[in-house]
Amino acid sequence: MPPTPEEVRKALDVIFAADTDIYQQRGFQRRVGFGKRPAIIHIDLANAWTKPGHAFSCDGMDTIIPAAQALNVAGRAKGIPIAYTTTAYQNPTGPNSDTGLWHLKIPVEKLHVDDPWAQIDERLAPRPDEQIIVKKKASAFHGTYLTSWLNSLGVDTVILTGVTMAGCVRHTCEDAIAEGFRPIVVREAVGDRVPGVVEWNLFDIDAKFGDVEPVSKVVEYLNGIEPFVSRV
C-alpha cells in the first residue's frame, strides 16, 4: 500500500531538517528577495494539467487555481505583466515532429497545439493584453521570446506558479535566475503528479535557485508596490 501524502510529508520533514543544517553550514539558502518590477508567469496551467482525464493531469488544483487567481487580482490591479505558458506541438509525430527527442520519454503526442487540452484553464481567463506562450521544452525561457519580452518591460522579478514542480516550474526557475531575474516560487500555487515531489523541489529550489514564498506574502508585496509602468 503506497504511503499517504501526510506520511510522505512527515518523512521529508526529517530529511529536510538534516539537509537544512548542511546547506546553512555551507552558506546556501540565501535570499534573492523581491525586486521593484515584477511579472507573473503561470507555467502550464492548461487543461491537460489542470483537469482530470489526461496523461499530464496534476493534483492539487483546488489550491493551485485559487492561489493563481489571487495573484492575478493583485497583479492586474497594479498593471503587472502576466504571462501563461502551455506546452504544445504542431507536429507531435512523424519525421517533421517539433517535439525533438522528448517523445522518447513522455507522451507529447497528446499535446497538439489545436487541442482544447492545450488551452489555458478558463478559471484563469487570460486577458487579451496578457501573453500566452506556447513552448516546446520544459523551461518557459527555452526557445521562446520570454526573456526579451521581460527585458523590454524592465522586469526584475518573476513570480512563478504552475506545474510540474519537478519539471517545467523548476527549469523555468533555474533559467530565470540564469537570465538575471529574481525568481519567486509561490508555495500554494505549484504542484505535480507524484507525492513528495513538490515538497522536495521547493526545498531544493529555496536553497539554490530562488525564494519560495507563501501566496499571502506575495500578494502583500504586489499590493505594496507602485503601479507598473513599462519602459516602452
Active site residues: 168
What is the total residue count of the chain? 232
Say which residue the cell 499517504 belongs to: 4
Distances, alpha carbon 226 to alpha carbons 10, 77, 80, 196, 215, in Å: 41, 10, 10, 37, 19
Residues 6 or more apart whose CB falls under 8 angstroms from that of 205 comprise 170, 173, 183, 185, 212
Q: Per the omega criterion (within 30 degrees of 0), is the bond before 99 cis?
A: no
CA-nearest of 195, 151, 141 to 171 is 141
- CB 89 within 8 Å of CB 99: yes
